[in-house]
Each structure stands twice: as structure tokens, then as C-alpha cells.
């Protein structure tokens, strides 16, 4: 009983990191290539996994497979870990007797997604840190520096400049309502996390992103890179076009592209070409740029799935890098401008008030 309770205490986060997933698939693929049984491969990889939650789910997977379920069927019983895109690739690999290759391809694609996400997080970390330090600096100035200077003007029998009055009032508000402000910020954060996970919240967030060109470009290029990579993997694995398209839009996790893909799937199911369907649904090429459609049309004509989709995915990963570079170039001047504005306000408010006080004394 004590061991069980101890294990429950360790499982704090019921989620699996993407890095654990692609390592898991890669390790299983290598083991299968050496003709090691699936259950033995899973037991071996389970000893190397650090996440208690993932270890628990792999143990469940071993139990299902030991009961003569296939790999893909066992995965379907654990939807909290394995999504429909991954299951379809494994299922196709089992059907074509290329399970190890499908697992390796899946691992490579997940690694690319992981690397792309890390690029975005890495590029945005520096601007976010700048803004956090600015907010911290403002808080320190308003709660510690201004109160120390305030006695200089307390006994002065003069009308202080409006900028000084505003600065002192802001400082008083911060000091008197510090915990209320912190509680408000925490409440807003919790509400935002909850709201963005609702359908209406996701629609509002995507609409907000759509109206900011620089952010929208990064978001769109990230989705397009994933579409190219995921579509190629599914079709390469032997999944039919219509099912591949339906799985691809689910993997984008975008409501905008969900609505677009619903229309594309209807057209493709009526034997229309994929590119033609995309052009009909997006005539202004807002969501699918011309070069993207041209590359896809080459893929359709030549059936050269792997090389074309790889080029598309690599190209749009580069586009994400370019978009991030442009965004950071804009964020840094905005942060400097914001800091400069506050410093100017602070300097003008304090020194103008001091000048008035000294003039009154003389």
C-alpha cells in the first residue's frame, strides 16, 4: 500500500513530453529491426522512460498487446497519450508489414515538430524576458523609489506639475493595492488559460492572431510546415487521401484550418484534386500561398511524395525562422520605446517638481 501511494504522489503531471514520445517510437523501431518482440521492446523502453505517467501507460500498452491486441488497437485504448494521427500511421505500418519504418518516420516527424516549437519558444523568450524585467523595474521604482522621494514635496506649498501628481498617484495606488493587483493578474491568467481551451476562446484567440500580420505569419507558416510533414507521412504509410486530410486538420489544432479542411475533404471525396480543392476553398490564397500550392501540384502530378513534402516542410520551417526574426526586430524597439517613455516621464515629473520647489524657496 505504501509503495502504491508513493507512486501516486510521484505522478503529478498527467502528460507526456514530445521528446519522450519521439524517443519512444525511435527506440521501438530500432528494436523491431533487430527482430525483438514488441512486448520485449516495450519492456526495455519502459525501463528507460523517466516520466512516471508515461511508464504507467506503456505498462498498460504491454498488457493489451500481451492479450493479443495489435499495436495500433492497443494504442486506441489509451487516447490520452496516442492521438489518431499516430495510430493511423502505426495501423498502416502493420497492414503493409513496415511497422519499424512507420515508427521511425513517426519519430522523425515528431522530432521536427519538437524542434520547430523550440525555435519559436527560443525566439520569443528574449523579448518576453525584456518585458518582464521592465515590469519588475517599474514596480520597484513605483513602490520603493517614489515613496523615498515623496517627502521632498510633502511640505512644499506649491502646485506640483500634473506629471508629478500622476506619478505620485500611481505609486500610491500600487502600494495601497499591491495584493489586489497581484490577485487580479493571477485571476486574469487563470481565466485566460481556461478560456483559451474553450471553443469560443480558441476562436477569439485565432481571430486576434489573424489581425496581427507578424504573429499570423508565424502561426500560418508553422501550420503549413506541419501539414506538409504530416500529410506526407500518412500517405507514405498507405493511409488513403480523404482519411489523411481529416487526420491532418486534427493535428493542426486550428479552428480556422478545421473549417477550411472540412470543405477540402468534401471536394476531394468527390474525386477533385487536392490543390484544386484548396484553390476553390481559398481563392485569395490567404491560408495556402501560391508557392505552397505549386509544390503540392508537383507532388500530385509526379507522386513524388517524400522529397516534395520534405522540401515544403523545410521551406516553411525556414519561413517560420524569417517571421520570428522580423517579429523580434519589432518587439525590441517597442520595449525600448516603452522603457524610454517611462524614464522620460519619471525624469520630467521629478526634476520639474524639484525645480519648482527650489524656485519657491528662493
Tens of each residue's pLDDT in the chain, 362 residues: 344 444 444 555 567 888 889 899 999 998 888 888 888 988 888 888 888 888 888 999 999 999 888 898 999 999 888 888 888 888 888 887 888 888 888 888 888 888 888 887 877 777 778 778 878 888 888 888 888 877 777 666 677 778 888 888 888 888 888 889 889 989 998 998 888 888 788 888 888 888 777 788 888 888 888 888 788 777 777 778 888 888 877 777 788 888 888 888 898 888 888 888 999 999 988 889 888 888 888 877 776 766 777 788 788 888 888 887 787 777 777 777 877 787 888 777 777 777 776 765 55
Quick check: is 101 in a domain?
Answer: no
Quick check: is 98 in a domain?
Answer: no
Q: Is 199 helix (H, G, I), strand (E, B) or coil?
A: helix
Which residue in 63, 127, 121, 113 sits closest to 83, CA to CA?
A: 113
Same domain, 170 and 293: yes
Same domain, 39 and 144: no
Same domain, 62 and 180: no
Same domain, 31 and 121: no
Q: 0.75 cut: is pTM over it?
A: no
Same domain, 6 and 130: no
Same domain, 20 and 78: yes
Same domain, 163 and 50: no
Which residue matches cell numbers 524569417?
322
**Rounded Cα gap, residues 159 and 350, in angstroms:** 13
Which residue in 281, 286, 285 sits closest to 266, CA to CA?
A: 281
Q: Please, is 254 exposed, middle or buried when counting C-beta atoms within 10 Å of its C-beta (0-12, 13-18, 19+)?
A: buried
Number of domains in the chain: 2
Same domain, 200 and 288: yes
Which residue matches cell numbers 528662493?
362
**Rounded Cα gap, residues 19 and 16, in angstroms:** 8
Residue ending a domain, choose from 82, 99, 126: 82
Same domain, 220 and 310: yes
Quick check: is 95 in a domain?
Answer: no
Residue 192 grid coordinates: 485566460
Residue 11 belongs to what domain range?
2-82
Same domain, 6 and 128: no
Amino acid at each position: 500500500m505504501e509503495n502504491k501511494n508513493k507512486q501516486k504522489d510521484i505522478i503529478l503531471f498527467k502528460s507526456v513530453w514530445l521528446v519522450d514520445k519521439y524517443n519512444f517510437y525511435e527506440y521501438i523501431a530500432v528494436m523491431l529491426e533487430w527482430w525483438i518482440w514488441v512486448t520485449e521492446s516495450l519492456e526495455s523502453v519502459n525501463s528507460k522512460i523517466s516520466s512516471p505517467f508515461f511508464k504507467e501507460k506503456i505498462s498498460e500498452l504491454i498488457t493489451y498487446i500481451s492479450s493479443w491486441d495489435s499495436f495500433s488497437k492497443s494504442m486506441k485504448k489509451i487516447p490520452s497519450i496516442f492521438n489518431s494521427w499516430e495510430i493511423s500511421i502505426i495501423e498502416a505500418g502493420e497492414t503493409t508489414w513496415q511497422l519499424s519504418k512507420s515508427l521511425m518516420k513517426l519519430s522523425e516527424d515528431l522530432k521536427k515538430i519538437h524542434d520547430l516549437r523550440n525555435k519559436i519558444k527560443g525566439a520569443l523568450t528574449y523579448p518576453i524576458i525584456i518585458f518582464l524585467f521592465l515590469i519588475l523595474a517599474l514596480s520597484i521604482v513605483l513602490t520603493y523609489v517614489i515613496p523615498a522621494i515623496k517627502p521632498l514635496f510633502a511640505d512644499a506649498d506649491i502646485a506640483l506639475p500634473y506629471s508629478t501628481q500622476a506619478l505620485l498617484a500611481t505609486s500610491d495606488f500600487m502600494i495601497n493595492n499591491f495584493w489586489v493587483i497581484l490577485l487580479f493578474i493571477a485571476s486574469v491568467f487563470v481565466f485566460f488559460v481556461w478560456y483559451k481551451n474553450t471553443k469560443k476562446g480558441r476562436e477569439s484567440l485565432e481571430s486576434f492572431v489573424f489581425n496581427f500580420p507578424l504573429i499570423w505569419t508565424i502561426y500560418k507558416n508553422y501550420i503549413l510546415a506541419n501539414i506538409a510533414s504530416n500529410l506526407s507521412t500518412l500517405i507514405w504509410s498507405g493511409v488513403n487521401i480523404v482519411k489523411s486530410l481529416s487526420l491532418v486538420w486534427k493535428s493542426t489544432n486550428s479552428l480556422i484550418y478545421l473549417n477550411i479542411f472540412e470543405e477540402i475533404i468534401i471536394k476531394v471525396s468527390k474525386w477533385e484534386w487536392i490543390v484544386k480543392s484548396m484553390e476553390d476553398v481559398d481563392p485569395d490564397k490567404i491560408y495556402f500561398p501560391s508557392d505552397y500550392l505549386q509544390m503540392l501540384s508537383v507532388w500530385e502530378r509526379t507522386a513524388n511524395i517524400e522529397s516534395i513534402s520534405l522540401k515544403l516542410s523545410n521551406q516553411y520551417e525556414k519561413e517560420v525562422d524569417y517571421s520570428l526574426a522580423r517579429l523580434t526586430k519589432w518587439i525590441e524597439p517597442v520595449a525600448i520605446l516603452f522603457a524610454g517613455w517611462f524614464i522620460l516621464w519619471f525624469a520630467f515629473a521629478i526634476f520639474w517638481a524639484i525645480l519648482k520647489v527650489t524656485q519657491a524657496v528662493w
